[in-house]
Amino acid sequence: MHCPMNRVDVVNGAVGPFDDYCDGYGNPGSSGGGYISVLKLSTGTVAKTMDSVLEGIVSYDRAEKNDAYAGQINMIAASSFSGPNGAVWGYDLARHDGLVDGSIKTLMTRTRSDGVEIKVFPVAPLLAAGEALFGTAHSRRFPLLPGSHVICATKDVTVSGPTSVWSAIALSIAEDRESDSSLFIEDVGQDIAGDTPAERENALHARMEHIVDSVVLCGEDQGVKYKEIFVGFKTEWVPEGHVGCGLTCAPYLVLARNAVPNPASKLLDMSLSQWERQFATARSSLDGAGR
C-alpha cells in the first residue's frame, strides 16, 4: 500500500490558519492533512530558591525558550515517527545548504542487515533550520502560536546540581517514505563521567554511538530500512545550588502563512538560505509598513 499524498501534497497541506505563527498539527484551520516536523535540543537551569516542583517548571520553561524558540506552548507528548504524510523542516523543505552542497561530513556509518551502509550525519544542520524558522526568544520569526496545543516527539529530564544535564536526538530517514515512517529517537540524562567539559562531551559522543545502534535495531524490529541518520546532543553543567532541565523535542506542526511561498510546495526546491532571503525581504517590507 502507498500513501495517497506525495511530498508536494504534504507540504501544500501543511499551512496553518495564522499569518505569523506556526500551529500544532491537527488543530482546525490548516490547508490539508500534511504536517512538518522541526527538531530542537535545549537545556535550561535555575537557582534552587523555590520548591522542587517550581524549580522543575522554571528550568523546563527555560529549556523551551532557549535555542529555537518553542516557549508558551502546550506540549503533548507522542510517539516518535514522521510518516508518509509528514515532512522534515531543513531536510525535505528549506533544505539546509550543507545538505544541498554535500559539505556536511559523515560522523560514522552502520551496516543494515541487508548489507547496505547507512551514513550518519550530525543533526546540527536540522537544529539550525529549526532556529531559522522559529527564531529565538529575543528575535522571533515564525514561532508556534502562544498557548497552542502541539503534539511533539519529546523527552525531558530534571536534575539537581552539581552534575551535567544533556539531551539528544536522532532522526533516521526511511528508504521507502511512501510506505514507512522515518523515526525519531529522543534521549536525556545526567551525570556523564568526566572531570572536564571536554571529557564529558567525549563521553556523550560515545553515547551517540548507542543511540545510532538503537535506531538500527528499531528498524530491524519493524522491517524498515533507513537510508541515513542524523544525531547529536546538547549539554550544560548544572552548578551546586541549581536545577537543570534537558529537553529534546520534534514538534508536529503546520506552517505560518507568511513563512511559505505560493504554493507552499515551492519550499521543496528551496535551500534554507534561499528561504531566509525571501523571509527577510518580506519581513523588511512588513516592518517598513509599521508591522
How high is the mean pLDDT in each 10-residue block of the chain (291 residues)? 81 97 98 98 98 98 98 96 97 98 97 96 98 94 97 98 96 96 97 81 92 97 97 96 98 97 98 91 50 39
Question: Is residue 202 within a helix (H) or strand (E), and if so which, with residue range?
Answer: helix 197-222
Asked if 240 is an active-site residue, the reply is no
Question: Which residues face 75 on adjacent strands?
Answer: 150
Structural domain boundaries of the chain?
7-281
What are the Cα distances from residue 128, in Å, to 67, 98, 135, 162, 262?
9, 11, 10, 29, 24
Cβ atoms of 257 and 22 closer than 8 Å: no
Q: Report d(CA 182, CA 79) in Å as an integer.
A: 12
The pLDDT value given to residue 197: 82
Pick the catalytic residue: 55, 64, 186, 228?
A: 186
Q: Report d(CA 37, CA 27) in Å as an integer.
A: 15
Query: Parallel, antiparallel, or unpaired for β 163-174 and 226-238?
Result: antiparallel
Cβ atoms of 243 and 48 closer than 8 Å: yes
The pLDDT value given to residue 279: 82
**Whole-model pTM?**
0.94
Cβ atoms of 246 and 234 closer than 8 Å: yes
Give, as one character, the DSSP assignment of residue 10: H
Cβ atoms of 165 and 236 closer than 8 Å: yes
Q: Report d(CA 66, CA 52) in Å as an integer.
A: 21
To the nearest 10°, the Cα dihedral for 55, 58, 60, 66? -140
The C-alpha cell at 216 is 538500527
Give, as one character, the DSSP assignment of residue 144: B
CATH 3.30.43.10 is right for the domain spanning 7-281: no
The pLDDT value given to residue 9: 97
